[in-house]
Amino acid sequence: MGEPVQLGTVKEIEKEFRVGRRVLARLADIGVIERVRPSPFQSMYYFADIAAFLERTRTDPAFWSSVRREAYLNGPSPQDASLRL
């Protein structure tokens, strides 16, 4: 696994954590993890963000509250775009 501040491409993150690109994009869209976009067609994520997210979901059974679940499944609405869960 990379250093805590190391960025990984979608492919690298998928390989390391077994989390798909669509899941990563949705998590970034709702503000759970940070996405870096060095170009319009490339997304990168921090290894530490993904590891912390996975640990948080493992240790906090209430992580997927109804608000988070709804945002993940249906996408954030324009009214809630500034809301970070």
Tell whether the model's pLDDT for residue 81 goes beyond 60. Answer: no
**Interval 37-53: pLDDT, tens:** 999 999 999 999 999 99
User: Mean pLDDT, to the nearest integer, of 52-66?
Assistant: 91
pTM of structure? 0.77
Q: Give residue 82's pLDDT.
A: 45
**39 burial level (CB within 10 Å; 0-12, 13-18, 19+):** exposed
Q: Give residue 77's pLDDT.
A: 54
Q: CA of 42: how far to CAs of 21, 62, 75, in Å?
A: 11, 32, 20
Q: Give residue 74's pLDDT.
A: 81
Q: Which helix (H) or strand (E) holds 54?
A: helix 47-59
**13 burial level (CB within 10 Å; 0-12, 13-18, 19+):** buried
